[in-house]
Amino acid sequence: MNYFDKIKTAPLKEGALILAIESSCDETAASVIKGGREILSSVIMSSITEHVKFGGVVPEIASRAHTTAISLTVQKAVEEAGVSLSDIDAIAVTYGSGLIGALLVGVSYAKALAFSLEIPLIPVSHIRGHVSAGYLADIKLKPPFIALLASGGHTAIIDVKDYYTYNVLGGTLDDAVGEAFDKVARVLGLSYPGGPNIERLAKEGANAIELPVMLKGKKGYDFSYSGLKTAVINYVHNKEQKGESYNKADVACSFQCSAVGELVKKAIKAVKEKGYKVLSVGGGVAANGYLRESLEKACKKDKIKLVLPEKKLCTDNACMIGAEGYLQYQKRNFADLCLNAKAYVGLGENNE
């Protein structure tokens, strides 16, 4: 019997141990998750310092760094979980969306390991992973709820109807919110990744610069961060060309207020319109302190339960891939050894 025939019919285990691997961008991450909700280990090796001088992630450098780091990262994750490879029930791996060369390192490694251990291989969408971070933050979290996804590659309001059925209520029409943070940071002379640096600088400034209202007059849940970003860049260039001084901290603060304000407003509106009681948040931008405080305030006011994963579960990690992997494991969504990495997979195979 070949590998796939064998695992296709293998019995499922309650509380299975999933070894998860994530390598879609600049973090090589591995984690062991029990029953989809309990983190036994989490190891993250980042190549960020190698990209800083280029002002963004350089795909080839990221791929090479993953190749160097992957074996050790997986080994450490298994050791820190206090288990051995033979205890692992399935391997979950991010197969998209992301940088293709970077993804291929994780996918190839996961395939080889799953084959040698004769256990299921579970392909996981990175975006679904970010949403599933909520299941780790609150072990009682159950759909339906609204998920706000705010990362470097995605911005979306998602109606999570059940564990598998997602309806995207709205998303960005152009730049993702994290991308806008990174681009505004660059024009202000702040290093990559821009988000945390904008957040730091914004604390010293005031919301004193008037910026355009996003998609003025439009209803719905879409975002457009390109206009906001361009308005900030024009403001800075204008001042510089005229030789006028301006307050960088005020620029950072005003941009952050506008960018975050839209996320909060639309996420709360979605929860209310759907008649839900819970909002769960994921993605790197959800590590932003101002966004976290604003969501806390707004949810308290409207009596909405807020599921806010700790910061290290918002930025890229493998725990969230393990949480989502367990859901897919229960559905027997197993891949054969032809699994390939994909630059774009959206929410994966089975959504609305």
Residues engaged in binding ligand KG4 (CB under 6 A): 25, 151-153, 178-179, 181-182, 193-196, 199, 283-285, 287-288, 315-316
Torsion from C-alpha of 122, 125, 129, 132, nearest 10 degrees: -80
As measured in angstroms, the least distance from the Cβ of 87 to ligand KG4 is: 29
> Longest Cα pair distance anywhere in the chain, in angstroms?
74
The alpha helices in the chain, defined as continuous H runs, are: 3-8, 48-51, 59-80, 100-117, 126-137, 177-187, 194-202, 225-242, 248-274, 289-301, 311-314, 319-330
Q: Could you give the CA distance from residue 185 to residue 292 in angstroms, rounded to a whole number?
A: 20
Name residues contacting Zn ion, limited to 128-157 (CB under 5 A): 151
Q: Which of 146, 316, 323, 325 binds Zn ion (CB under 5 A)?
A: 316
CB of 270 to Zn ion, least distance (A): 21
- Report how many residues bind Zn ion under the rule CB under 5 A: 2
Least separation in angstroms between residue 151's CB and ligand KG4 is 3
User: Is the distance from CB of 324 to CB of 95 less than 8 angstroms?
Assistant: no
Scan for tokens 């009682």, then name that residue: 140
What is the nearest approach in angstroms of Zn ion to the Cβ of residue 317? 9
Which residue, 161 or 186, has its beta carbon nearer to ligand KG4? 186
Q: How far is CA 310 from the centre of its chain?
A: 13
Q: Which stretch binds Zn ion (CB under 5 A): 11-19, 255-263, 314-322, 336-344?
A: 314-322
Quote the CA–CA distance of 168 and 171 in Å, as a whole number. 7
Tokens representing 121 are: 């291989």
Phi and psi, residue 301, nearest 5°: -60, -40
Q: Which does 22 bind (CB under 5 to 8 A by kind): Zn ion, ligand KG4, none?
A: none
* Shortest Cβ 57–Zn ion spacing (Å): 12
Nearer to ligand KG4, 270 or 313 (CB): 313
- Nearer to ligand KG4 by Cβ, of 8 and 312: the residue is 312
- Comparing CB distances to ligand KG4, the nearer of 194 and 322 is 194
Q: Which residues bind Zn ion (CB under 5 A)?
A: 151, 316
